[in-house]
Structure 1
Amino acid sequence: MNAFDYIIVGAGSAGCVIAARLSEDPTQQVLLLEAGPPADNFWINTPGGVAKLFEDKRFNWGFKTESVESLGGRTVNWPRGKALGGSSAINGMVYMRGHPADFDHWTNLGNEGWGWSDVLPYFKKSERNVRGGDDYFGGDGELSVTDPVQRHPTTDDFLQSVKAVGIPEIRSLNAPPFEGVSYQQFTIRGGRRETSYTAFIKPILGRKNLTVRTGVHVLRVIVEGGEATGVEILDRGETQIVKAAREVVVSAGALSSPQILMLSGIGARDHLQGFDIPVIVDLPGVGENLQDHWAAPFVARVGARDSYNSNLQGLRKYVEGARYLFNRRGFLALGSSAVSAYVKTSPDQLQPDLQLAIRPVSAVFRPDGSVVIDPKPGIGGAVVLVGPKSTGRMELKSPDPLKAPAFHPNYLSDPSDMARTLYGMRLLRRVLAAEPLARRIAAEVAPGPAVESDQDLSNFIRQSGNTAWHQTGTCKMGCDEMAVVDARLRVHQIKRLRVADASIMPRITSGNTNAPSIMIGEKAADMIIADRSPPRVVTT
């Protein structure tokens, strides 16, 4: 069948939710398209297998930025999920919604219906929190949200040392007061990774009105007479047209959704004409407003019992693997960065703009993007600038849909971003020097004690920092001349076409972006159903 009511492009964090909700109506035929393969893989299912996925091109697009001038000409590896579940199949599984002020700011920019009180019900709708439902948490949704299966003594000490420098402990980073230190929660179910696919699509694969196709690359959205009528796809070497009677929803993520729009003739006129792409709508904001969180790393040398590096090497890694296989517990059942502190860099900040994160393991990031466990006992973590002001852009490098676009993130180009990251590095050093964590620290490895001046620390942050893998904003929601979609996620000047994923964020949220992307999927589905237009007459 090559005609459906709805076509959803991308089976990622938002796309899976949309397909699940729209297919609840048995009269509607729903097609969910994914360029990658199924994701039933041991290292995907195993929470501790994240590092194994950074360079696995089966499940990872393996994008790279262009040379970043503000980082001294570095390129940065950008892993992005290419599988059922999208990036939720390869991420660190942290469940972090962001700060209420993030969403109120979206509303203040002219996006009615996206304030905190508007989006909280959608967060709760998806969530099956191990702590149960209340005013802030959902207890009976599809997405499993759990606490770490075990707490390492080093992370307990980190939490206590954060408190010792004056940062309060709070019960959850996703509930008031939203500022302080706490153990994080994760999208993990029964010791296995919970993706948007396993939560929302896998349980309903028996629905006769839901079709899921993998290994299908969407070449463009077909627009006729000012409305989306379907998509052109490449499926196992064969080009096909699939038609949509009601809507096409692009949910391919912040790095691919704008590319699909551009290839469809929707974007900046001059840019598209440079590739001989016929311009359907001149929308200069497509690909602009690219935002990401920049992470400045730290590593400290500790005693063997203060880290689980040794448990993941040599013969011990087999013992750890057996422990996981038998009872789904142990270090392989944990997500990344067990404890985080969210803090303000100054009292003038309306909300926390820094995250201090720690994990009782240290790793080496190789230039090729691969990650290996540090052979010596260590702990690692990062200062993450969750309130960046720097923005970048993406653009086409080729009219070939199978060629990756060019990404220009402009990290740290706004002077305040570096200043606030420096504040965070010095604050983190105060935490490392505070008891009880200080007694575990044998030496600071990175940045290292010799890196002390602002200039030296700035150089370290540029040279050794990394993406937090939270790219957003490239099809931003709004009503200004650079907006791509309106507050109901409809692409400006095109009927029956929406974008629904992290690309629509006008400003990046203050934390990990998987949970907000799922929320966007929930809210998008409700709007699509509420706005349901009469079907077009489709002939095949």
Structure 2
Amino acid sequence: MASYDYIIIGAGSAGCVLAERLSASGRHSVLVLEAGGRDRSPWVRLPLGYGKTFFHPEMNWRYQSEADPGLGGRSDYWPRGRVVGGSSSINALVWARGLPHDFDDWAAAGATGWSWEVARRTYDAMETRVSADGGREGQGPLHVQDVSDQIHKVNRHFFAGAEEAGLPRTEDCNGATPEGATTYRITTRDGLRHSAARAYLAPALKRANVTLRTGVTVTRIGFEGRRARSVHLRHHGHEEVLQAGREIILSAGAVSSPRLLQLSGVGPAQLLREHGIEVRADAPHVGGNLQDHLGLNYYFKANEPTLNDQLRPLWGKALAALRYALTRRGPLALSVNQCGGLFRSTPEAPVPDQQIYFNPVSYTTTPSGTRNVVNPDPFPGFIIGYQPTRPTSRGRIDISSADPEAAPRIRPNSLATEEDRAAVIAGGTLCRRIMQTPALEGLIDSALDPDLRELQGEQILEDFRRRCGTVFHPVGTCRMGADPASSVVDPRLRLHGFEGLRVVDASIFPNITSGNTNAPTMMAAHHAAELILEAT
């Protein structure tokens, strides 16, 4: 039986960070297990390539939620990275730390030691912040790029409209004043995607004490009494058992980490018995506390050129590709989520409660139901979209079978609270306010159905139910907290009631952060490595 000091299950955003940090001293052997393949595809390295990986069966789990009553019984598509780097290899690259109160709320909820001060200090250690003129701040492994000098000129209308609507402006949503209209910072380096795999795992793999295995299916975690000892896996039809000398770290993400705990006998007892799984611990909160951001886009035809005019025609694609090949700049080096920001829907809101995206491109749904950012609409168009930042509805993720390769049951329980429904109306009203400013009205040729400017109150909510979807930020399904009666892991991320097993990924969030969740996931892993090494 092969043995390693640390076995990390999942080479995603968290697992890559852990591998680098835990192996840095050279004293510990680290094995990283990944179900997907290597991140060598050019569509992974190309920033705008996520338009291709969004449905790619070899790089994306392509989950589907169950019919959601809050969305009128609709099922929603849930992409998740099935590749080294996880979702950091297929996401839209936006780097959003979250707001200070998000992390202070973690600490107040029982996650002692996870306040904003700790999170801020950790981010500072992780990041190299690169300005538009090439200046650098910080010496962290992850490059966070200011691309304000490259964004499309049509974005000027958004900034003007936000100002006319009385909204603040900020240079950086990760800075000292994060609230306001901004150009989003993205995780690129020299025009290439700088994923967790590139920033952390690639340097770690140069060390003799780090091993990566891809294409493996972890079937369960093995225990001796109350201590996690082994990882059982399947590779090319063969069963293997690997032993961990120090710890097993579950970093399979908010969808798969609770699933693997349940397959290992830790979860709701009745559910496990229904599937013939021996119950090691009746842990009803494993798989619960599911939170996610729901978002909605509104589409408009523009009366001046947008990215559609550059990326729709074949000659435009060729020109963009040539520019990128020669300079590593241009639309292929960016996210379509170029501008937006965190805003208060009303002046009375105590903190920003909405995140807005303004995209200088439109890609309305095709007859097959797909959208492709590298094949936009055949007319000038743009998008404004939003997501309420701190939803209060809670769902669940559970196994559907004892088969480790069976897709899980994803039940988001969307818009289940009055607070969330009110937040949807508030966010739509804020977007309408921006779109009715002279700056944005002057850009609009026509609205694609529905016209946000004509929607009021309950109409906004009903349209949101009909068309909204996940923004791909699931968290919380192995909640961190001090009390085993209401959480899955303790503040040091150890599984309650067991030894030798921690969970480190977005599933440990007590509450979702205000904004994109890749940054706080990597931050949590960076800080978790400190906690793990303190125990050695």
Normalising by the smaller structure, the TM-score range is over 0.9
CA distance, structure 2, for counterparts of residue 316 and residue 304 of structure 1: 16
For structure 1, which runs of at least 5 residues remain unmatched after alignment?
A: 533-540
User: Which amino acid in the other structure matches residue 207 of structure 1?
Assistant: R
**Could you tell me how far 1:222 is from its partner in structure 2?**
0.8
Q: Please tell me the residue identity of whatever aligns with 1:470.
A: H
Q: 2:463 aligns with which of 460, 465, 479?
A: 460
Q: Given the alignment of the two structures, is residue 384 of structure 1 paired with residue 384 of structure 2, yes or no?
A: no
C-alpha distance in structure 2 between counterparts of 1:511 and 1:367, whole Å = 31
Secondary structure at 2:118 match in 1: helix
CA deviation profile, 1:251-295 (whole Å, cap 9, x unmatched): 000000000000000111111111110011111100000000010
> 1:512 aligned to 2:516?
yes
CA distance in 1, matches of 2:285, 2:44: 35
Matched, 1:123 2:123: yes
Instruction: Tell me: CA distance 1:366–1:240, structure 2 relative to 1, closer, same or farther (3 Å).
Output: farther
Q: Partner residue of 2:295?
A: 295
Q: Which range is displaced more, 456-465 or 257-266?
A: 456-465
Supply the AA of the counterpart residue of 1:139: G
2:433 is aligned, of 430, 455, 471, to 430
For residues 207-286 of structure 1, what are the structure 2 equivalents within 5 Å?
207-286=207-286
Match of 2:377 among 355, 374, 378: 374
Partner Cα separation in structure 1 for residue 361 and residue 280 of structure 2: 51
Counterpart secondary structure, 1:144: strand
Give the deviation of 1:250 after TM superposition. Answer: 0.2
The Cα shift of 1:155 comes to 1.0
Which string of whole-angstrom CA distances, capped at 9 and with x for unpartnered residues, describes residues 167-211 of structure 1? 111121112232211111000111111110000111232210000
Q: What is the aligned partner in structure 2 of residue 93 from structure 1?
A: 93
User: Higher mean Cα deviation, 291-300 or 419-428?
Assistant: 419-428
Paired residues of 1:296 and 1:421 also in contact (CA < 8 A): no
Q: Distance in 2 between matches of 1:392 and 1:523?
A: 27
Instruction: Choose 47-56 or 434-443, whichever is displaced more.
Output: 434-443
The change in CA–CA distance for 1:365 and 1:7 in structure 2 (over 3 A counts) is farther
Equivalent in the alignment of 1:158: 158
- 3-state SS of paired residue (1:203): helix
- Aligned partners of 1:141, 1:450: CA distance in 2, in Å? 44
Q: Do the aligned residues in 2 keep the contact of 1:77 with 1:369 (CA within 8 Å)?
A: no
Tell me the residue number matched to 2:189: 189
TM-score of the superposed pair, with normalisation by structure 1: 0.95
- 3-state SS of paired residue (2:448): strand
Give yes or no for contact 1:306–1:440 (8 Å, CA) kept in 2.
no
Q: CA RMSD in A?
A: 1.7
In 2, Cα distance between equivalents of 1:347 and 1:432: 18
Within the candidate set 438, 442, 462, 1:439 is matched to: 442
TM-score for the superposition, normalised by structure 2 = 0.95
The 3 A distance-change label for structure 1 pair 18 and 161 is same
For the 8 Å contact 2:19–2:204, the answer to whether it is kept is: no
Runs of 4+ in 1 over 3 A off after TM superposition: 306-310, 346-350, 365-369
Please tell me whether the aligned partners of residues 304 and 310 of structure 1 are also in contact (alpha carbons under 8 angstroms).
Answer: no
Q: CA separation in 2, counterparts of 1:76 and 1:155?
A: 30
Which residue in 1 is equivalent to 2:350?
Answer: 350
Change in Cα spacing, 1:230 to 1:365, as seen in structure 2 (3 Å) is farther
* Cα contact 1:310–1:377 (8 A) shared by 2: no
* Aligned length, in residue pairs: 528
The residue that corresponds to 2:488 in the other structure is 484
User: Unaligned stretches of 5+ in structure 2?
Assistant: none
Take 1:445 and 1:56, find their aligned partners in 2: how far apart are those partners? 28
**CA positional deviation for 1:350:** 3.2
1 CA distance for matches of 2:89 and 2:532? 26
Match of 1:12?
12
Change beyond 3 A, Cα 1:369–1:235 = farther
Residues in 1 aligned to 2:495 and 2:23: alpha-carbon distance in whole angstroms: 22
Separation in structure 2 between the aligned mates of residue 369 and residue 516 of structure 1, nearest angstrom: 31
Deviations 1:358-378 (A, max 9, x none): 110001245866313222211
SS of equivalent to 2:182: strand
Aligned to 1:175: 175
